A = this chain, B = another copy of it.
């Protein structure tokens, strides 16, 4: 098996990920729905507000009776009963009347505007003076003005933030239809790998990938299940992969970076019934030896063996894929802020490979942001820790010169 079997571009890889269907919708309590994405349009069940409400403290009036009012020539109105919070006024505002109303109070029938308390004076007992005119609907939130019964309230694909939850609560929408969260089986394999709790014997190393990938899955809204570490034995790998596929929507494998370990992973995946290998390699650096397969509707992602490459691929493709399965738009790269920065050192790149360079960001005195490429041998986890952003060099570029303005995605 050659290493270049089925090597595809990064954009093609993304396109293949986009062919997987989104997860089925589920209905969940509103208070659990923060960050989830609506799987259906939501229709507005009732008018909000249900009747006209005042937006200020003042007096409910008939607007036309304040026409021409001023400090020198105020309109004199007689006091109607006050509007009480939490109750609908049981009286009708008569001609020449003004009803005290607090912010949020419902207007009595007959009233069509509210005069702010600042523009009134107490007058003889049982009446007030209005010193500014108001027009109809002034300081009034009308019935259905915030949301109207029957209209589309929020569209499918909308991510629910605190403000949407508040809006829906106000309308009595206590449950919402959202895309499901992907269950993700995470498998680390390798004869040299031991669990993090164990002291490695000479020649062994602790599992880093399992914990980093599980955290990234959680960060992307997925539900990770971390399996026991599997040695490089076909039968053990077969069994663990089968177990993982049985309970997951996506299985992520990370194995050794030696050719032997990678071939073993490829062979194991290929032996699955009804499996289709979609890609075996991406024209990308780091992370070329990445595997993507489809088995009975489930996605299998084989990450490159180097922990650094594995995490880069997970950030560029796996995290967006998991968010996509939950309803988000599929875009390459981490979900972080994008910002412009000046490259402090030129970086070379190979034509035909899309390269990702990790950078450390520094705010310069002049206010611009400087991106320092983080160099280091492959396999050095500390390079990932030192980086706080990543930049992409396109496939057809030979590199980026020092001083160039680049777009960096923070993570």
Interface residues of A (CB under 8 A from B): 30-31, 34-35, 48-51, 53, 55, 57, 84-89, 102-106, 141, 145-147, 154, 161-172, 174, 190-193, 196-197, 199-216, 218-219, 231-232, 256-261, 305-307, 311, 314, 336-339, 377-382, 384-385, 387, 411
Give the complex CA separation of A86 and B260 in angstroms: 14
- Assess whether B86 is in contact with A214, with CB atoms less than 8 Å apart: no
From residue A68, how far is it (CB to closest CB) to chain B in Å? 25
A215: which of B34, B196, B203, B216 is its contact (CB, 8 Å)?
A: B34
Q: Tell which of A35, A211, A231, A258 has the most Cβ of chain B within 10 Å.
A: A211
- Assess whether B34 is in contact with A172, with CB atoms less than 8 Å apart: no
Copy total for this chain: 2
- Assess whether A162 is in contact with B104, with CB atoms less than 8 Å apart: no
From residue A371, how far is it (CB to closest CB) to chain B in Å? 17
- Assess whether A203 is in contact with B88, with CB atoms less than 8 Å apart: yes
- Assess whether A104 is in contact with B379, with CB atoms less than 8 Å apart: yes
Q: Told that A85-B190, A102-B261, A146-B379 touch, could you supply 13 new A-B pairs with CB distance under 8 A?
A: A31-B215, A88-B201, A102-B259, A103-B258, A104-B190, A104-B305, A162-B213, A162-B219, A165-B211, A166-B307, A167-B382, A167-B384, A169-B196
Q: Which residue from chain B places its CB closest to the CB of A215 in the assembled complex?
A: B162
Whether A162 contacts B202 in the complex (CB less than 8 A), given A257-B103, A337-B337, A377-B55, comes out as no
CB neighbours of A214 from chain B (8 A) = 31
CB neighbours of A218 from chain B (8 A) = 34
CB neighbours of A256 from chain B (8 A) = 85, 102-104
CB neighbours of A257 from chain B (8 A) = 103-104
Q: Which residue from chain B places its CB closest to the CB of A211 in the assembled complex?
A: B169
CB neighbours of A200 from chain B (8 A) = 50
Give the complex CA separation of A35 and B34 in angstroms: 17
Q: Tell which of A51, A163, A204, A336 has the most Cβ of chain B within 10 Å.
A: A163
Q: Which residue from chain B places its CB closest to the CB of A53 in the assembled complex?
A: B379
CB neighbours of A202 from chain B (8 A) = 50-51, 87-88, 106
From residue A269, how far is it (CB to closest CB) to chain B in Å? 20
A166: which of B211, B338, B339 is its contact (CB, 8 Å)?
A: B211
Whether A208 contacts B167 in the complex (CB less than 8 A), given A85-B190, A216-B162, comes out as yes
